[in-house]
Amino acid sequence: MKRLADERRESPRFDLRLTLRYRLSLKGGAEDRWQTGVTRDISKDGVGFKTRRPLPVGSHIELRIDWPARFEGEYPVDLQATGFVIRSDQNRTAVKISSHRFLTPNEKPAELSKTA
């Protein structure tokens, strides 16, 4: 994990490539299908990641990031984060994180086993 040079943000960002799944909250409370991407950089306040298409700026988003650590040295862990899209162009998106938590296997909803 490498800290990005010339960092001016309050929270340092780290150059980290991790697989993620994301979905947008749609009008009326519905949720979009899960899509996949790869992180470019991450901090406690935000994450930048690669997407296949631009996402609507201002949209509420839920992220599930495949965390490299293991629970009890054996079970995979996901970082669940929610926030808002603050920038998106071509295949790059930036999200301001409003909440996050680590999910262990017992806490993962069954729907996550089926990603789009």
Domains of the chain: 10-108 (2.40.10.220)
CA 11 to chain centre: 16
pLDDT below 50 — which residues of the chain? 1, 110-116
The pLDDT score that the predictor gives to residue 27 is 75
The pLDDT score that the predictor gives to residue 111 is 44
Alpha helical stretches, state H, the chain: none
CA 21 to chain centre: 7
Identify whether the C-beta of residue 65 lies closer than 8 Å to the C-beta of residue 79: yes
Alpha-carbon distance of 79 to 100, in angstroms, equals 7
Q: Among residues 77, 76, 66, which one has the least CA distance to residue 39? A: 66
88-99 tens-digit pLDDT: 998 999 999 999
Residue 34 gets which letter from DSSP? P
